[in-house]
Chains A and B, each alone.
Chain A
Amino acid sequence: MIRVRAVFEKTGRAKYISHLDLNRCMLRIFRRSKLPIWYTEGFHTHPYYSFALALSLGFESHCEILDFNLNDDDISLDYVCDTLNGVMPEGMRILSVAPQVKKITEIGCAEYTFSLVTERPDELSDKIGELLASEEILVEKKTKRGMKTVDIKPSLDVLGMEKSAGSVDMRLRLPAGTETNYNPSLFFEALGAFTDIPFTPERICRTGIYCKNGEVFS
């Protein structure tokens, strides 16, 4: 048995597949592929696979991580990649299949790009600057133990911000992984509470998943 890791993208119509539905969808992809997927042993045997991070409904991604095991140690991973791509739904595509290098627990953060669509990009951009300069950015976050106020300021890493005719486009790095997971929607909420300028987040895309030490997760 070999443990492999696929990186896949989820774009276009596929962004409307919820995480729960993605699970079921993946099961059927494996079944259609007829690849020698390793099944769990036990009473309810099922193909074993897992996703490193959940992706919010409506977000696109170029870097989703899917781990699974194969029964055939000598199988060509390019063949696995091509076979899966032959049975994927529109908008989902495997970019690479390789042996698992790092542990899931090493994941530290994820990078996102998005556009804040607005009729007043100049003002909104100024307001974002003000928000980012403030001492703390408090938002309500839903946790397993109810609502909790968190300060996202220390872990918010703005990598880029550009104004265009109808939007402010940003690149943001946020903590992700087994310990802390901040969704970009927390930033949208904070901004919405900070300013009255109407904006709509669009084209939200996860562009990278990184380890705590800054390396690309693979």
Chain B
Amino acid sequence: MLRDRIEKYLLQIQKPSRYIGGEVGSIIKDKLKVDVRFAFCFPDTYDIGMSHIGMKILYSLTNKRENYWCERVFAPGEDFEAIMREHDIPLYALESLDPVRDFDFIGFTMQYELSYTNVLNMLDLAGIPIFAKDRTQELTQIVVAGGPCVCNPEPLADFFDLFILGEGEEVNLELMDLYHEMKKQGASRVEFLRAAAKIEGIYVPSFYHFSYKPDGTIESVTSADGAPETVRKRIIKDMDKVYYPENFVVPFTEIVQDRASVEVLRGCIRGCRFCQAGFIYRPFREKTPDTVCAETKALCENTGYDEVSLASLSTSDHSRIDEMLTKLLDYTEGERISLSLPSLRVDNFSESLLNKIKKVRKTGLTFAAEGGTQRLRDVINKNVTEEEIMRTCRIAFEGGYSSVKLYFMMGLPTETDEDIVGIAELAQRVVDLFYSIEDRPKGRGVQVSVSCATFVPKPFTPFEFEPQDTREVIEHKQKLLLDSVHSKKIKVSYHDPNVSILEVILAKGDRRLGKVIYTAWKKGCKFDSWSEHYKFDKWVEAFGECGVDMSFYANRRFEYDEILPWDHLDYLVSKEFFIRENKTAHQSKTTPNCRERCSGCGVNRKVGRECF
């Protein structure tokens, strides 16, 4: 039995409870009574993957169906992988401890570009052919992916049988139903894929052909085998009635987000032009306060968590936020549960809201200002003024906070040195503000942490056309920022530009990157998002050997009339809108949020109803 072989080595590795399952809330079924088995794979370690809310939703939802069994699979850490390879232990699922290769579906959730090599590594550990074309003709081992990265799945097209675009709550079960039906009929793999391609939201990459112009840009994308020309993402129409788990798998070992987590809304009204999530999750839909409360209560009671956090892109944009928090705090305070509220925006951070949060616990405050000057914030449509930032910081300082974290991006379109110096100046004014307040927290100084990420243009945003700054420019800006900071109260940190370069290439790339990813993995690249594992030099080698020019994807402006690698995928927001927004950005003009005025992104037309 595989379990005995696993247990033989478990005590030699770090945090063995990650590899043996048996957690409270994990679901065990009798496999003889199960018709379809789904291995839900997270291409990173247990500690990270177990924090992912989408996995929790789809895990519970699938397992609600008696004859379907969804199990969890994570990437093993380096120590355990070495043992697995040495002793021929194949990648296995945590519930049954059965090999992943025996499953009907092997589904990956693609949350970030730097996890792509982990997919290849996990397939390899599972003993499943890495390239889709090399897999069996029989109907089994269907390798699928969903999640935000599949809005441009082309770099991964060689490795997957199909992609699931949009929200999985309905389409996953439809796909499994189809599989179940066709399996009974004795259908082949390709027959199944042909039928699957007819389900809205399912994209089967092998039915699409790309041709390229001499200059390297895309000439055409054609579909075959009856697959639709464009594939539209799936959405849940009624957010308030969408399935939400009443229970989570409660890990033994501490994970990144070790708490109950309740989704309060999907989509975002803001339209910040750099933010992919703000566009690909449209339309904006929210749950009622009663639903959020009921879900919080069920989760806390079933898991035993004494901490709950509200998940969304911007919790304070909930139309009934005050009512919701009042109701929630009624429950959580009575039960000694602490409530945390990430994703609060500066501009509607009211005093009453702050007081409510303060009742719960006092941790640091984080503001995403993103740009150092008003002009630049207008370019990116981050509709936050300096006055608002200062007002919020004042409320926070007067309320006893003494540390503030400010998030910025570097390398934004139209950015000049002045904007970089502006970051340091803004941080300095926050420091000065602190010392100007009479009843500031006594006894300790202020701490302003400036965290600077490198801008990565992403598909399905108004900045999808934009080039990324070259490394030389980014390094110049980083140095300039450091030189502009004159206070010890300000701490600056920034990202490794080499990471951002790979991110943009994988985000905006096309099918020609498949062989680069494969080559990089062969050279030992995996866990690219972990700085201690990231091997940029190996990636550069892989690009070189495959004859793929990095700057073609990273530093080239994609033209408005160019066929983009993701143009045949429909995420409801129109390309015309993105072009319009891109032009508006270059005029340093803002666009109001969706609740103030519809800016015509096209979602309402396609969904067939107004958003508000």
Contacts and interface: CB of A to CB of B under 8 A. Distances in A.
Interface in A6-47: 12-14, 16-18, 21-22, 24-25, 27-32, 34, 39, 45
B303 to A, nearest CB: 7
A24 B303 CA distance: 12
A30 to B, nearest CB: 7
A32 B303 contact: yes
Contacts of B336: 39, 45
A90 interface: yes
B16 interface: yes
Given A25-B252, A28-B305, A29-B304, A17 B10 contact: no
Contacts, number: 60
A208 interface: no
Contact of A16 (B20, B250, B302, B303): B20
Interface string B243-264: 0000000101110000000000
Contact of A17 (B11, B252, B254): B252
Contacts of A39: 336
B24 A28 contact: yes
A28 B16 contact: no
A24 B302 CA distance: 15
Contacts of A14: 22
Given A21-B252, A25-B252, A91 B22 contact: yes
A89 B21 CA distance: 11
Contacts of B22: 12-14, 89-91
Contacts of A57: 11, 16
B11 A21 contact: no
A16 B301 contact: no
Nearest to A201: B11
Interface string B300-324: 1111111000000000000000000
B338 to A, nearest CB: 11
Contacts of A45: 336
Contacts of A16: 10, 16-17, 20, 252
Contacts of A98: none
Interface in B221-256: 250, 252-254
28 contacts: A12-B22, A13-B21, A14-B22, A16-B10, A16-B17, A16-B252, A18-B252, A18-B253, A21-B17, A21-B253, A24-B252, A24-B254, A28-B303, A31-B300, A31-B306, A32-B301, A32-B303, A34-B301, A39-B336, A57-B16, A58-B16, A87-B24, A88-B24, A89-B22, A89-B23, A89-B24, A89-B252, A91-B22
Interface of A: 12-14, 16-18, 21-22, 24-25, 27-32, 34, 39, 45, 57-58, 87-91
